C-alpha cells in the first residue's frame, strides 16, 4: 500500500505530548503576542500613534458607522501587517549566519506588505475624511 509523500519521515519523529489548550490559554498567548508587537518595534508604535490620531480626528468630525468600519479595517490591516513583519524579522534573527541571508527576500516582501497596507490606509482614510469634511462644509 502506497503512503503519502513525507509520511514516512513523520513516522520517525516523536510526537510531542501536550495537554489540550483551553481558549483562555490561547487568548493569553495572543495578548502576549500583541504586547510583544507593541513593545518590540518602534515602527509599530509609530503606526499605533498614527492610528490613535486618526481615531481622534474621526471622533471629532463625527464619522458615520460605515466610515468608522472602513477606518478601523484600514488601521487593523496596517497593524496586522506590521506584526507579521515583526514576527518574520524575529524568526530570521534566530537563524545562523549561513542561512540568514536567504531570509532577505522574505523580509523585503514583508516590509513591502507593510508599506502597501500603510499607503492604502492613508489613501482610503483620506477619502473617508475628505467625504465627511465635504459634507460638513456643504461642498
Does a structural domain hold residue 3? no
Q: What is the pLDDT of residues 76-113, one digit of tens each?
A: 999 999 999 999 998 999 988 888 888 999 999 999 99
Q: What is the mean pLDDT of residues 124-130?
A: 98
Sign for the CA dihedral angle at 87, 89, 90, 91 comes to positive
CA atoms of 3 and 24, how far apart (whole Å):
38
Please report, for the domain that includes residue 109, its CATH number: 1.10.287
Average pLDDT, the chain: 87
The whole-number pLDDT of residue 97 equals: 86
Location of C-alpha cell 534573527? 93
State residue 97 phi and psi, 5-degree precision: -60, -35
Number of domains the chain contains: 1
**Is residue 69 domain-resident?**
yes
- For residue 46, which of 26, 13, 75, 87 has the smallest C-alpha distance? 75
Instruction: Please check whether residue 55 lies inside any domain of the structure.
Output: yes
pLDDT of amino acid 12: 53
93 is a domain residue: yes
Range of the domain at 83: 34-136
pLDDT band at 73 (very low <50, low <70, confident <90, very high): very high
Amino acid at each position: 500500500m502506497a503512503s503519502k509523500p513525507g509520511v514516512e519521515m513523520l513516522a520517525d519523529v516523536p510526537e510531542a505530548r501536550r495537554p489540550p489548550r483551553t481558549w483562555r490559554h490561547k487568548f493569553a498567548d495572543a495578548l502576549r503576542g500583541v504586547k510583544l508587537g507593541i513593545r518590540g518595534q518602534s515602527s509599530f508604535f509609530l503606526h499605533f500613534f498614527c492610528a490613535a490620531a486618526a481615531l481622534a480626528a474621526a471622533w471629532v468630525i463625527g464619522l458615520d458607522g460605515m466610515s468608522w468600519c472602513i477606518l478601523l479595517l484600514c488601521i487593523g490591516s496596517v497593524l496586522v501587517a506590521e506584526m507579521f513583519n515583526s514576527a518574520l524579522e524575529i524568526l530570521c534573527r534566530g537563524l545562523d549566519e549561513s542561512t540568514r541571508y536567504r531570509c532577505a527576500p522574505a523580509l523585503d516582501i514583508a516590509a513591502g506588505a507593510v508599506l502597501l497596507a500603510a499607503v492604502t490606509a492613508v489613501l482610503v482614510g483620506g477619502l473617508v475624511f475628505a467625504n465627511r469634511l465635504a459634507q460638513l462644509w456643504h461642498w
